[in-house]
Amino acid sequence: MSTPTPPVVRTERIGSTLLITLDRPEARNAVNAATATALAAVLDELEADPALRVGVLTGEGGTFSAGMDLKAALRGESPDVEGRGFGGLTESRPDKPLIAAVEGFAMGGGFELALACDLIVAAEDARFGLPEVKRGLIAAGGGVIRLPERIPHHLAMEFLLTGEPVDGRRAGELGLANRVTGKGQAVAEALRLAERVASNAPLALAAVKRVVRAAEGASDEEAFAFQSGEMNTLMASDDVREGMTAFAERRPARWTGR
């Protein structure tokens, strides 16, 4: 009788948050084909379930992710999912907010997974780096594109041209991390942050993400036109009426996502 293959991505529902854990600690949670496929499926689950409002992505064993599984790549495996990029995440456009909870290494593709999330919580001793140039590559999972949008140009270029990492405390100073915690506390803080995000209207959260994406590289006219369409949809929703009523009645809103 064969032994069942252990899952490479685990999930746990905590209230309206889905805690997503990369579970290959023996490989520092490096992403192979199975991990990418599994993570893409989990993100679909998050998007499809109205009871879930926020996802928190982390790694097992004190490491977020060492990036691409080079041994698997040499065997011909791809860590990409067609149309969704590295790990099934970096080129996807989920509507629900994602928070990266980073302990230990977030290197190469691991850093790019964190950059693909909306918020980052980092332990002070976490390590963020894009060492691809040391291997004859570039950070093609979003690092070269996203990092210069998140921090000043010259600081981003230092990451990209030297391949040298920084710790979580420095990531916080650079504005890469929303919260910096003590060692082993990143997930707990990310879950607290997720609870605060999830207390808000789900339709509005999704609209924020869509408008931010649409505004990237767009003219003001284009961005405001797109935003106007989103606002019209929100104003016709039950959630807007509930939000206004709850404010008037001085009570927490009861969102339905409609």
**Which residues are designated catalytic?**
112, 132
**Residues 98, 20: Cα–Cα separation, whole Å:** 10
Query: Strand order of the sheet with strand 105-107?
Result: 105-107, 127-129, 166-167
Chain centre distance of CA 50: 19
| Tokens 């803080």 sit on residue | 189
Q: CA–CA separation, 258 vs 247, rounded Å? A: 18
Per-position b or e across 60-78, b if 16+ CB within 10 A of its CB: bebbbbbbbbeebeeeebe
Q: What is the dihedral of CA 134, 141, 69, 182, to 10 degrees?
A: 90
Q: How far apart are CA 126 and CA 159, in angstroms?
A: 15
Neighbouring residues of 157: CB distance < 8 A, sequence distance ≥ 6: 148
